[in-house]
Amino acid sequence: MSTPAMTITVYFFGACREAAGTPEWHCELAAPADVARAWAAVALRFPQLERFSRSALFAVNEEHARPDQSLEDGDTLAIFPPVSGGAVEDVCEITREPIDKAGLERRLLAGEAGAVVTFDGVVREQTGGRRVVRLQYEAYEPMAVKELRRLAAEVRERWPEVARLGMVHRFGELEISESSVVIVVTSPHRRVAFEACRYAIDRLKQTVPIWKKEIFEDGEEWVEGGR
């Protein structure tokens, strides 16, 4: 049985249009498909768009969309760089892939920032005198992303001066010294960035449904509270 196919119309704007060399392209995808799969097909057809892989924004049927949003036959997908002078959405993601800390900072850093504070939580090799071999994180994915977005709104309510905010948590198995969570806060002044970043990681550990299992040389156990 053949895999059902769909056709979507991809529109390019701004620098993405110039890089692609065309304002639109009709893209055929195997169903089911999402924005991420469409972007992979676009990048394969237009390799010059690869430089936007960390910054491109998406809209499906004229509504802002995330990479995991599903697509239907006949949908329109717009691909564009961050809007000049406009608000950039906070980055709230969970992933199985290694976190690109430098890439996240590049996505969030803009001219209004006088301070960038980054928290990088990494896997340590000792807990309570026991040697850790690796960690395993389990996530309730849809709820985790929603809670990250709720937390971002909470941070912005407390610190309106925050320019941009990014929170990315990894799940799955992680080795020693790998990043499990990265938080980036930019603001015009350092005090706000420091305070907001500290608050974000403390609240994330309390509210976002991600659980950690520590795997030791002599056993393993789930960590409850204060991840």
- Do 130 and 49 share a structural domain? no
User: φ, ψ for residue 14 (rounded to 5)?
Assistant: 60, -135
Cβ-based neighbours of 191, under 8 Å, separated by 6 or more: none
> Looking at residue 88, what is its pLDDT?
54
> Looking at residue 99, what is its pLDDT?
94
Q: What is the mean pLDDT of each run of 10 residues along the chain (227 residues)?
A: 81 90 95 94 94 84 88 94 58 93 87 90 90 92 91 91 94 94 95 96 94 90 69
- pTM summary value: 0.62
Establish if 85 belongs to a structural domain.
no
> Looking at residue 47, what is its pLDDT?
94
Least Cα distance to 122 among 81, 160, 178, 66 occurs for 178
Determine the 3-state secondary structure of 112 from DSSP: coil
> Looking at residue 84, what is its pLDDT?
45
> Looking at residue 86, what is its pLDDT?
42
> Looking at residue 184, what is its pLDDT?
97
| Pairwise CA distance, residues 41 & 46, whole Å | 9
Residue that terminates a domain, selected from 46, 80, 114: 80
Residue that terminates a domain, selected from 80, 110, 139: 80
Determine the 3-state secondary structure of 108 from DSSP: helix
Residue that terminates a domain, selected from 80, 109, 126: 80
